[in-house]
Amino acid sequence: QNNGSLLITKRKGDQKFLPGYDAFPWAKVNREEKGNGMGDGMGNGMGNGNNTSSNLKIETYSGNETGFPAALVRFVKEALGADMLELQESGVIDSIHYMGNNITPGFDVNRLRTHYYLIECTSEFSLSPGENDSPISIAGWKTTEALIEHFKKGDLLLSPAMNRLLFAMAENRLN
C-alpha cells in the first residue's frame, strides 16, 4: 500500500492454481521455510514480531505471530524483482504489518492457509514481473477505488478471499 495505492498482480494463464486471476502479492511456503525457525510447519509463523532471521522488521496485531516472512521476501524477489530488505532499509517500505491468516473452506479442493501482510510504502517501487519462472504476468499500483471499479465492470478476476479483502479495505474495516 502506497498512500492509498495497492500493489495488484495478475497470475500467468499457464498456472495450475487460479490461472489468470488478479491477486495481491502472495507466496507459497516452501518446505524449508516451514522449518527454519520462522514457522512451526503447520502454517503458523513463530517470529518475535519485531525481527526475523532475514532482519525484516514486522509489526503484528496478533501476539508474536509473523506468518512466514521468508516466503514473502523470497516471492517478492523472485516474482516482482524487488528486494524487501533493501526497500525497508532505504525507507521505501515504511512498515510491514502481519494481519493474520485465513484457511480456505473444507469443501475447497485446494485448502490453503493464506497469511496477510499490510506493507506501507512511502513511494511506489519498480517492479519486474514475468521474468524467469515468475507466476506473475503483470503487476502495478492501483487505488482501492479503481480496483473496485474494475471488479464491478468485470475487468478484475478475484478469488472469493481476495474479493472479501478488497471490499474490507475499501470500507476501512482493517484498521
120-150 pLDDT per residue, tens: 888 888 888 767 678 888 888 888 889 999 9
Q: How many residues make up the chain in this entry?
A: 175
Strand partners, 102: 114
Asked if 95 contacts 59 with a C-beta cutoff of 8 angstroms, the reply is yes
How far is residue 140's CA from residue 133's CA, in Å, rounded to a whole number?
Answer: 19
Asked if 48 contacts 64 with a C-beta cutoff of 8 angstroms, the reply is yes
pLDDT tier at 37 (50, 70, 90 boundaries)? Answer: very low
Q: Which helix (H) or strand (E) holds 167?
A: helix 160-170
Locate cell 471499479: which residue? 149
Indicate whether this model's pTM tops 0.85: no
Report the 10 Å Cβ neighbour count for 133: 7
Please tell me the least confidently modeled range out of 1-5, 39-43, 63-67: 39-43
pLDDT tier at 71 (50, 70, 90 boundaries)? Answer: confident
Report the 10 Å Cβ neighbour count for 111: 10
Residue 47 predicted with pLDDT over 80: no
